[in-house]
Amino acid sequence: MNHTKLKSSKDNSVSDEQKQFIPLKEEVPPEQIRTKASLLAARFKSKLDANKGKN
């Protein structure tokens, strides 16, 4: 009886893989993530523009 209870509660809880990612989401505010993404996008765009200039 105990084993089934433990197993079902474990199945309903967050998996180990998800646990690794949840703290990251909580620590980093969404503004920071957005800034990082926009910085990457800007860097990528400037690379593309530089390549266009060569051709």
Domain ranges for the chain: 29-54
pTM: 0.34
Higher pLDDT, 52 or 15: 52
pLDDT at 35: 79
Instruction: Please give the structure tokens belonging to residue 43.
Output: 């860097």
Residue 47 tokens, joined: 């690379």
Helical H segments across the chain, by residue range: 2-12, 16-27, 30-54
CB 44 within 8 A of CB 51: no
pLDDT top residue among 1 and 15: 15
Q: What percent of the chain has pLDDT over 70?
A: 38
**Whole-number pLDDT of residue 49:** 86
